[in-house]
Amino acid sequence: MLQTAIEEKTWILVKYAHALVRPLSIVCILFGFTAIAGYFGSVEAFYRPITNGPATNPLTAICMIFIGFGLRGDYNKPRVLLLQRALALMVIIITSTRFFDVLFNADVSESITPFQRQVALDLQMGKSNNMGINSAIMFFCIALSLQLYGFKRFIASQFVAFIALAIPTISFTGYAYGIDQFYGQMSMLTASTGFALAVAALVMTANFGAVKAILSPYVGGKIARLQTIAGYAIPTLLGYLLIKSLNSNDGNLFGVFVVTICWFIILMVSMSAIFQEKIDHERRIGEFLLTQAAMNDQLTGLANRRKFLEFGQEELCRVQRNGGLFWLLILDVDYFKKINDTAGHDMGDRILVKFGETLRNSVRTVDLVSRIGGEEFAIVLVDTSRRGAERVADNIRSNIANIYVEGWTDIHGPITVSIGCTANDGSQTLEESLKAADQALYQAKQSGRDRVCFADDSECQ
C-alpha cells in the first residue's frame, strides 16, 4: 500500500530571530546611555571609542535609546504599540532636523542637542562630533520601519530595515579598509548600535518576505543563508586584496585578487548547482510518488482503474499495429458483502489485500493486475494464447481457494472467485472488451460462482 506524507518542518530560525529583538534592544539602550554618560562625566572614550575618530553625537545617542525602547514592547498591547509609534516618531523628527540643516544650511539640530557646549568644544578642537547625514538616514529608516510595522505594513517595514542595515555595513567596510569616506562622521559605536537596531527591526518581520525565505528550514533557505554569508564575506576579502594590490608594487597581490575572484565565482556556481540538483532530485521523487498515487490503488498497491484503462489502450494499439491478441480477465470476490457484514470492513480489507497479492503472484511481470472497483479486479494478459489464458485463469481460481486469512478462512472456509475472460485481437475497442468480459463474469456468477467463463463459450469451467 502506497503511503505518502508531507512533513512540515519547524521554522526554528524564525523563532530564534524573534528572540533576538529584546536582547539587541537592551544592548543598544545601554550603549546610548553610555554615550550620554560620557558627555555628562566628560569621559570622551565613552562617546568616541577610537581616539581622534568620529564621536557619537548626543542626539544620535538619544535616537539609540528611543529606538531601543521602541523595540522592546509587546505589540499586541495597544498602549505599548502607541508608545512604540511615539518613540519612532520622535526619532523621525530628530533626524529630520538634521536633514533640514543640511538642505538649508541651518542650525536647528544644534538648538535641541544636549551637551551642546561639549560638542562645540570638540568641534573647535578639529574633532568630528556632529550627527553625520549617514547616521541620520540610518536612524530615520529604522524609525520608519518601526512605524510601518506598527501599521502592519510588514513587507514595507522589512524593505526599509534592509536599507537601514546597508548604511552601518558600508561604515564597517570603511573602517576595515581605512577609507574614511565610507564612514564619514559615523563612529564605530554608532555603526555597531545602528547595525544591531537595524537587525532587530528586520527580524521582527521574520514571518514575512525575504527574511522568512532566508530563515526557511528547507533547501531554498539553506542556499539563501549560505550565499548571503559568502556573498558578503568573500567580496569583502577581495576588496581588501584589491586595495592592497593597488597600494603595492607587488603584482603578486593583484594576481591573487584575480584568481580569488575566479574561484569565488566557480564556488558559487558549484554550490548553486549542488543545491539545485538536490531540489530537483526531491522534485523528481515527489512527482514519482504523485504519479504512483494517481495510478495505484491505496489499499492493495495494485494498479487502479485509471492505470488499467491506460495500459489496456496501449496494449490495444500494440496489437492493432503488430498483430496478435491480448486477454482481458474480470474477477470478482464471491459473496464479498457477506464478509463485510459478518466480520466487518477491516476483515474485508485484509482479504482484498491478500487477494491482490495472490493475483500479482499468479501472472507474469509483463501482465497488469488492477483493482477497478470495490471487490472487482481486472487482469490484462499480454500476447497470450487461449490455452495460456485458460491456464492462468484456472491457476488464479486455485490459488485464491488456497488463501488463508486468520479469522475468516479458518472459520468460514475458502474464499472463491468468479472470472470472466475475453480476447481482443484489435478488432474491438477496449470498452467492448470490458463489456464482453463483464457478461462472461455475470455468466460465471449465474452458473454458481467459483467459475471461469469465456465470452465465446456458452459453458463455464
Residue 167 has pLDDT above 80, yes or no: yes
Residue 82 has pLDDT above 70, yes or no: yes
pLDDT band at 222 (very low <50, low <70, confident <90, very high): confident
Residue 261 has pLDDT above 90, yes or no: no
Q: For 122-153, what is each residue's pLDDT tens digit?
A: 888 888 888 999 999 999 999 999 999 988 89
Residue 79 has pLDDT above 60, yes or no: yes
Which residue is it, cell 497488469? 368
Distance between CA atoms of residues 212 and 236, nearest Å: 25
What average pLDDT does the structure give for the chain? Answer: 86
* The pLDDT value given to residue 276: 67
Q: Name the pairing type of β-strands 417-424 and 326-333.
A: antiparallel
Q: For 25-48, what is each residue's pLDDT tens digit?
A: 999 999 999 999 999 999 999 999
Please tell me which residue, 129 or 288, carries the higher pLDDT value.
129
* The pLDDT value given to residue 1: 38
Distance between CA atoms of residues 220 and 22, nearest Å: 28
Measure Cα distances from 225 to 192, 204, 211, 228 in Å. 22, 18, 10, 5
* The pLDDT value given to residue 270: 62
Domain over 305-454 is classified CATH 3.40.50.300? no
Residues of the chain with CATH 3.30.70.270: 305-454
* The pLDDT value given to residue 251: 47
* The pLDDT value given to residue 284: 75
Q: If you write DSSP's letter for every residue of 8-54 in order, what string do you get?
A: ----HHHHHHHHHHHHHHHHHHHHHHHHHHHHHTT-HHHH--STTS-
Distance between CA atoms of residues 195 and 55, nearest Å: 16
Residue 286 has pLDDT above 80, yes or no: no
* The pLDDT value given to residue 56: 95
Residue 254 has pLDDT above 60, yes or no: no
pLDDT band at 76 (very low <50, low <70, confident <90, very high): low
* The pLDDT value given to residue 366: 92
Residue 217 has pLDDT above 80, yes or no: yes
Read off the pLDDT of each residue in 255-274 and give the average, rounded to a whole number. Answer: 61
Residue 304 has pLDDT above 60, yes or no: yes
Which residues share a beta bridge with 303?
296, 370
Range name among 74-78, 97-101, 114-118, 363-367 with the lowest pLDDT average? 74-78
* Torsional sign, CA 27, 29, 32, 33: negative
Read off the pLDDT of each residue in 231-255 and give the average, rounded to a whole number. Answer: 63
